[in-house]
Amino acid sequence: MEIGIIPRMDQYKDNKNVEMQQVKSTSDSASINNKKDLEQIQQTIIEKAKKGEETSEVKVDAVKLAAKFEVLISNLNFGYNRESKDFYVKVERGNIENQYPTEDMMRVKAYMLSMQEAALNSNS
């Protein structure tokens, strides 16, 4: 009898080699007994595939109406304001919420962009 970790590792390796060489029987739950069961399984698979292929109607109007998009990642909200064409970040710490750039700055930028467009349209 050998004592130590190396003989145990050798014994484990030998046992695993023997176990891998033996053929294990499959469970009866996975077997199909008759042709009707097989056809029923195939039919359900085909129905699931058809449901996955069907597309639903896409509503674009709801997306166009929203001026801002926000995504929540931890205590940060990232968003996009279409009017001022700005990305913004909202940081929440306890009861305090800070936004960079601020709402006022985005309004000023949106106003400046509209004034610029109006000036370009009046010149042409």
Domain boundaries, the chain: 61-123
Q: Residue 22, exposed/middle/buried by CB under 10 A (0-12, 13-18, 19+)? A: exposed
pTM over 0.75? The answer is: no
Question: How many Cβ atoms are within 10 Å of 37's Cβ, its own excluded?
Answer: 11
Higher pLDDT, 76 or 26: 76
Spell out a b/e string for 43-65, using b for 16 or more CB atoms within 10 Å of the CB, else e: eeeeeeeeeeeeeeeeeeeeeee
Q: In sequence order, what are the residues at sequence separation of 6 or more whose Cβ sits closer than 8 angstroms to the Cβ of residue 38?
A: 32
Tens digit of pLDDT for each residue in 86-116?
888 888 887 888 888 888 888 888 899 899 9
What are the backbone angles phi and psi of residue 72, rounded to the nearest 5°? -95, 120
Report whether pLDDT(45) > 60.
yes
pLDDT of residue 119: 92
**Predicted confidence band of residue 33 (pLDDT cuts 50, 70, 90):** low
